[in-house]
Chain A
Amino acid sequence: MDKILRINMGASGGPSQSIEKAGEFTALGGRATTSMIVAKEVPPDCHPLGAENKLVIAPGMLSGTTGAMSGRISVGCKSPLTGGIKESNAGGQPAQVMARLGYAAIIIEGKPATDDLYKIHIDKDKVTISVDNSLKLMDNYPLIEKLRKEHGDNAAYMSIGSAGERKMAAASIACTDPELRPSRHCGRGGVGAVMGAKQVKAIIFDDKGCQQRPPKDPDGFKAANRAYVEGIRKHAVSGEGLPAYGTNILTNVLNEAGGYPTRNFKTGFFEGGTNISGETQAELEVKRGGLATHGCHRGCVIQCSGVYNDKDGKFLTKQPEYETVWSHGGHCGIDDLDTIAMLDYLDDNIGVDTIEMGVAIGVAMDGGVIEFGDGEGAIRLVRDEVGKGTPLGRILGNGAAMTGKAFAVERVPVVKGQAIPAYDPRTVQGIGVTYATSTMGADHTAGYAVATNILKVGGDVDPLKPEGQVELSRNLQIATTAIDSTGMCLFIAFPILDQPETFDALLGMLGAFYGTKMTGDDVIALGKKVLNMEREFNKKAGFGAEDDRLPRFFKTEPLPPHNITFAVKDEELDELYNWG
């Protein structure tokens, strides 16, 4: 990964391209690369949909190698949803293919002068940027079908659906999985709207004729990778729970802990939880001839995903994740898996973040647009309103905050304009700290305190009390920022938090690959450096301490069944970034 591809969509006479040396980014990846480039090149006060914003795409440090779990791709920009810096990552095949093609990053800048729609094709020999207006307003599934006929099945695809072209702030960028389904999404923060603003419909990566990236120390890399895979396989979460039940195993856990936000954060227990739990979902998937275990990219050994078939045994969507099942399920008072799976498919097809979309619908329900529990109504809103770009669809497609405002809802669960996901911060106080303080806006993955609070992996901090949560969230946010830079799937955190030898194996892989010695301190230093840059960007974009807060109702409305409020003090939240 020694080069960076820069595409200026606004060049006079049509898009231009140039190749630069990757320099300091040669041995970096993922979030470190995207955030550093955005921080350096994008004016923090620019309009997110304007020519000055840039869309930066980067594979992970070990993507494109034989290393396990290394296939996450990061997309960075100034977010149209939060107004701050954004890194959104996804699985699927593109990271591996892009890395083998040798690119440390692709920077898409400028804005075309005409309303033409472009696709970008990248192979070993050249980059082709061409107009293809026949793709206009196509959604992801039919779009990829069409592109596959032209560009074949060896390629990996990144694309936007109609929501991205309409520049909705909930728009995602789809990545194809090994079966070429556009089902893995850089969902959060409206990165799809930025791609839409650049008028890029699809990026096609074809690595025909390319090799796996060679490690500096092949034997050392192989040995470390072996130890790493062993560690992942032997841990109960990554070796058994996630493969068998997927992330939706958490429905029952959060429900039984009273931390499952129900009907727009009114209670912490959903009476219909069992019907939409991971256990029920896995059983149904197998019964219908789908799969309860599936990897989103080749080289994944955990395989937390699955294939969800409809009643007739035909593919409907990939196994909906816990947060999707929650946002379209309990949050909306819906307890029917087929309805939720249909919504997952529609979100992927139209190209919107399943969390933002589901939370927006629940907020709309609270505002009286449709009733809680109205599954048919929810499907109609996504398919016929968001999917068709009606005025109501544009309100919903711009996220929960916009929807709350439009329908005068008082209880709007967002931080920095981004929807709060599936863990109530009153019952899981550590994750509340992450929601409040993350540079990304409310984002559970930014510092997954749920592990320590609820799952009792990597330590034990009481979820119901404010004590220790800031320190916990801080450490997790630093570590996560580093993991997001390696391109490793975040679920490796479960084994590496519990098993020091598995963390050492990961360091060994990085060291053997780049011919350096990586220590735990280096990882922490990288995490801090990236977080500092992101925070600096946000400051310049206009964010202050008052933005590092949860909506006030979390402090004033006690959540049943525990009947407690979020109790971490504002002054304590302000300490999060004081790490000296």
Chain B
Amino acid sequence: MIQVTVKLFASFRIGRFDREIREYPQATTVGDVVRDLQIPEAEVGILLLNFVHVDLQRQLADGDALSIFPLVGGG
């Protein structure tokens, strides 16, 4: 098993959590986490793994920090 810090933002927090350390099996991908949290893939806007943009296919490693945002903007 690996430990991943998952951070959720904006509307994704509603009914879920802000930040949690979660356990996943080896070879878990970002997409697996998104599905596990029942976040519709189409709503995912920004995925940041340890400060870097990634896609759903990226495999996670022990100690990773994953931030999941819906599509957001401002400026």
Contact = CB atoms under 8 A, between A and B. Distances in A.
A457 B75 contact: no
B72 A450 contact: no
Interface string B29-70: 000000000000001011010011100000000000001011
A257 B73 contact: no
B9 interface: yes
A378 interface: no
Contact of B73 (A256, A321, A491): A491
Contact of A237 (B51, B52, B72): B72
Interface stretch (A179-187, A244-252, A337-345, A395-403): A244-252
Interface in A556-576: 561-562
Interface string A262-295: 0000001100001000110000000000000000
A236 B12 CA distance: 13
A256 B70 CA distance: 14
Chain A contact residues: helix, strand, loop or mixed = helix
Contacts of A237: 71-73
Interface in B2-22: 7, 9-11, 13, 18
Contacts of A491: 73-75
Nearest to B67: A256
Given A256-B7, A256-B67, A242 B48 contact: no
B10 A244 contact: yes
Given A244-B10, A249-B10, A455-B45, A463 B70 contact: no
Contacts of A235: 71
A494 B53 CA distance: 19
Nearest to A460: B53
Given A245-B10, A249-B10, A256-B67, A494 B73 contact: yes
Given A258-B51, A279-B13, A490 B75 contact: yes
A423 B30 CA distance: 26
A240 B75 contact: no
B58 to A, nearest CB: 15
Interface size class of A (residues with CB under 8 A): 35 or more
Contacts of A274: 18
Contacts of A244: 10-11
Which among A244, A269, A455 has the highest number of chain B CB atoms within 10 Å?
A455
Contacts of A242: 72-74
A235 B73 CA distance: 11
A444 interface: yes
Contacts of B75: 247, 250, 322, 444-445, 448, 450-451, 490-491
A238 interface: yes
Contacts of A520: none
Interface in A34-81: none
A451 B53 contact: no
Interface string A143-180: 00000000000000000000000000000000000000
Contacts of A321: 74
Contact of A249 (B43, B48, B51, B74): B74
A253 B72 contact: yes
B67 to A, nearest CB: 4
A430 to B, nearest CB: 13
A304 interface: yes
22 contacts: A235-B71, A241-B72, A242-B74, A245-B10, A246-B74, A247-B74, A247-B75, A249-B10, A249-B74, A252-B9, A252-B67, A256-B9, A256-B51, A256-B67, A274-B18, A279-B10, A322-B74, A448-B75, A450-B75, A457-B73, A491-B73, A494-B73
Interface of B: 7, 9-11, 13, 18, 43, 45-46, 48, 51-53, 67, 69-75
Given A253-B69, A451-B75, A456-B71, 13 more contacts: A237-B73, A238-B73, A240-B70, A241-B11, A242-B72, A249-B9, A256-B9, A257-B53, A258-B51, A279-B13, A279-B18, A455-B46, A464-B52
